[in-house]
Amino acid sequence: MRDIGINVSRDVIYGVDPFITCVKHTGFDAVFTYGNIPDYISHVAEKCAALGLRYEALHAPWDNINDLWSAGEPGDQVVRMLTESVDLAAAHGIPKIIVHISSKENCPHVTDAGLLNFDKIVNHAAQNNITVTVENQRKLGNIATILEIYPKESNVQFCWDNGHEACFSFGREYLPLFGDRCVLTHIHDNNCMYNVDEHLLPYDGQIDFRRVADLIHASNYKGTLMLETDLPHEGSEKYANLTLEQFVSKAYAAINRLRILSE
């Protein structure tokens, strides 16, 4: 059976080390984290190595990500931010980074300047044996353009986020389009309300996970089923009533159910 994983966040109420330890002991195979935070990434990498847990991906920041498509200093700042993610991944044995290439409704159209900016990131990643995965948000055109420009054999691939698809994409399904380029997943649930990205555990919202399983199976994706859920944190009521063991067990049961369905 395919591997399963879950996100790790610095603000998880249980503490990062107890959370990662429980994730490993419950049966997860992999994790990913967010942001360019060197000390945190180094700590998670050391913890994963000690436990035999795979640190599968680093989610790059998305601050001002629409500036990727701009010439001059705005675009240069995004290039620096994303190449820093590449460097941090390479330094800690993380094979993939996840990038957004647009944000919100009125993001820029594809531009020559943006394609040149993205190419700088891709080339730097290739030199460091890092795969750049583009994640579906609201817009199809920029992802389609990028995946058409860079061939399947390149270090540019696709990260499928089923939750974004349900609340951002008006029913558009991405795996039938890009399943042969999918090397990462973000699996979560929501109540299928436009622009309400809730990051619930699977089966806690309204997404049809039988359909999700069918899409995964039809795509022939064999990689990790990676949860991206809103972990219990200060100021959030989501799952706040659950102990560490209860939350991780609930998460494991949900993603394992999907794993079985998608085989």
pLDDT digits (tens, 9 = 90+) for 120-168: 999 999 999 999 999 999 999 999 999 999 999 999 999 999 999 999 9
Q: Are 167 and 196 in contact (CB under 8 A)?
A: yes
Calpha distance 79→101 (Å, rounded) = 11
| Rounded mean pLDDT, 204-229 | 97
Q: Are 177 and 158 in contact (CB under 8 A)?
A: no
Q: Which residue has the tokens 């049966």?
A: 27
Digit-coded pLDDT (tens) for 231-245: 999 989 899 999 999
| Rounded mean pLDDT, 80-91 | 98
Q: Which two tokens mark 179? A: 């399943």
| Rounded mean pLDDT, 90-116 | 96
Q: Are 137 and 162 in contact (CB under 8 A)?
A: no
Instruction: Provide the percentage of residues in the chain whose pLDDT is more than 90.
Output: 96
| pLDDT at residue 220, rounded to an integer | 86
- Mind listing the domains of the chain with CATH numbers? 4-262 (3.20.20.150)
Q: Is the pLDDT at 254 greater than 90, yes or no?
A: yes
Q: Is the pLDDT at 181 greater than 90, yes or no?
A: yes
Calpha distance 204→198 (Å, rounded) = 10
Compute CA distances 69 → 74, 103, 142, 164, whole Å. Answer: 9, 11, 10, 22
| pLDDT at residue 180, rounded to an integer | 96
Calpha distance 142→92 (Å, rounded) = 29
- For all residues of the chain together, what is the average pLDDT? 97
Q: Is the pLDDT at 170 greater than 90, yes or no?
A: no
How many residues comprise the chain?
263
pTM reported for the whole predicted model: 0.97
| pLDDT at residue 171, rounded to an integer | 87
